[in-house]
Each structure stands twice: as structure tokens, then as C-alpha cells.
Amino acid sequence: MEPFVYENESYFLIENWMEKYPGLVTGITTKKGGSSTGFFENLNMGYHVGDLKEAVCSNRNKLANLIQFPVKHWVGAEQTHETLIRKITSADRGFGADSYENAFKGTDGFYTDEEGILLTLCYADCVPLFFIAPEYRMIGAAHAGWKGTVNEIAQKMVEKWGEEGILPNQIFVTIGPSICEKCYIVNDYVINFVEKSLVDVEEKPYNLIKEGQYTLDLRKLNKIILLKACVPEENIQMTKLCSSCDQFEFFSHRRDQGKTGRMLSYIGWKETTE
């Protein structure tokens, strides 16, 4: 079953999680319904791609109003395709929310067990990973391009949570909209790194097209890495939505040849009012 449900023109929700866990807000934006123009038409959420800052702020405020989660409670990262994951507290709220300059440096993952914090990351083909351990009220998000994927950012989140006393079988993961295997062609250089992350794994998430060219299923590779980290298969759900195929819904760095905007993944617990 497709975990991402079209809520309105501007975002998809992980509906089954939100129904199951009251107070949870989680999903990913589309490219529609914002203030940006040109390459960034319309709902670009990334400050770092050359769009007008005023337009990005307007777009973020629009989402904040739609999901009823104020921008001043968001956190954002300077994503560098690496595997640094930070635990976030209420003292961190606002960093990376209204500017790129004060985003968390060199960071590609967040997690928290506090209410009133929205963990946000930007995408335009890379794989958004959403994590939840409901018994512990722990939530997390990671940005997995091919580099972050082969360096096992998914497993590193599981390990971080292990340090918090959370077992892999208590963790649920949703793998979000990103480039599909048909659209993602890579070379031997990338596949060599993929192979190193798949020692003792029979199932391969890539296929040879011709010499030196392969289709690579990054979503499947992340699932394999999560299974290696002992997250049960029944705890992992994966979208079929492709950022490159669906040009009307999503930005795609590869399809748009680098001239494009960014979607925003988000996950947070709303503050409970007594």
C-alpha cells in the first residue's frame, strides 16, 4: 500500500502514521502552490539553490500554516551527503528555519523525542527516510543520496537510537519519494561503493544496462541496509512515487539538470495542550 497520501497540491502525508500516532505531523512537500518563479516554480523550500529568500520564506510560512506548525519551531540542515546525525532539543528550534546561514552545518540527519520541534530536510532526487519508535516517542529524519546511502546513514540512525535504549524491532521506517531505478543511471564508480555496502547480501538493487552503466534502486538499497541493521521487514514501508518521473509534483535535480528547487520532508510531534 502506498504510504504517501496526497493531502492537497502542496504536500503528501504519511497518513497511516498520522492516524496511528495522534499528534504526529509528517510528510513531504510537492512543487506546487508557492511563491517561487523561474526554475523554482512554485513551492521551492531550499534556501541554498539561488531562489529569492523572500520567496522561500513565503513558501515555508505557507506550509507552516497548512500543517499548523510554526516556522520558529523548525530545524534545518546544511546537507552535505554525509552521515552526521544530530539529536535535537527545544533549545535548537529555529536553526535553519528562516535562513541557510544558521542551519546545522554538515548534517544529514536529525532525531528528537521532544514535542514542538519539526525536523526538516531538503530533497530533489535523494531518498528521504522517516523514522519513528512510538514506545519512546522518538522520531527522526535522514537525507540519503547515494553517498549517504552507501555510507549507511540508515543504519547509523538505528545505532544512535540503540544508544537511547531503543531496539531495532521497535523502530518503524518510511522510505519516501525519490528518484526511481529506471531514472537513476550510475557508473562503475558508484556501483563499487554499493558493492562494499552489500557484503553478504545476495539481493542486488542494481542492474547492468551496458558496459559501465547500471540502473540503481536507491530506495531498495536503503531497505536492504535497514534489514541488515535488524529492522524487521514488516516495520519498513516504501513509496512508489518517483521525483524524476512525476514532473508535475516534484523537483528533480537529475531531470532538471541541476536547475531546480527542493522539496521538504518534515516530521514532528505537536505540542500537547493541557
The whole-number pLDDT of residue 274 equals: 52
Q: Supply the pLDDT for residue 200.
A: 84
Cβ 116 vs Cβ 272: under 8 Å: no
How far are the Cα atoms of 69, 83, 105, 174, 188 from residue 238, in angstroms, in the given order? 25, 21, 29, 6, 26
CA 25, CA 226: separation in Å to the nearest integer?
A: 23
Q: Which of 61, 75, 57 is nearest to 118 (CA)?
A: 75
| Chain centre distance of CA 214 | 24
Question: In sequence order, what are the beta bridge partners of 213?
Answer: 210
Whether 273 shows a pLDDT value over 90: the answer reads no
pLDDT tens per residue across span 24-40: 999 999 999 999 999 99
Instruction: Give the residue among 179, 248, 254 at the shortest CA–CA distance from 41.
Output: 248
How much is the pLDDT for 130? 99
Q: Which of 112, 118, 109 is nearest to 84 (CA)?
A: 109
Query: Please, which pLDDT band fits residue 82 given cuts at 50, 70 and 90?
Result: very high
Q: What's the mean pLDDT when you consider all of the chain?
A: 97
Give the chain's length. Answer: 274
The per-residue pLDDT for range 190-211, each reduced to its tens digit, is 999 999 999 888 889 999 999 9
pLDDT digits (tens, 9 = 90+) for 96-126: 999 999 999 999 999 999 999 999 999 999 9
User: Which of 63-67, 199-203, 248-252 is the least confident region?
Assistant: 199-203
| CATH class assigned to 4-178+219-269 | alpha beta
DSSP string across 170-225? G-EEEE-SB--TTT-EE-HHHHHHHHHTTTT----SEEEEETTEEEE-HHHHHHHH
Q: Which of 15, 3, 26, 36 is nearest to 261 (CA)?
A: 36
Residue 199: the pLDDT is: 86
pLDDT above 90 as % of the chain: 97
HEC string of 18-45 equals: HHHCCCEEEEEECCCCCCCCHHHCCCCC
- pTM (2 decimals)? 0.98
Contact (CB, 8 A) for 101 and 155: no
134-169 confidence digits (pLDDT tens) = 999 999 999 999 999 999 999 999 999 999 999 999
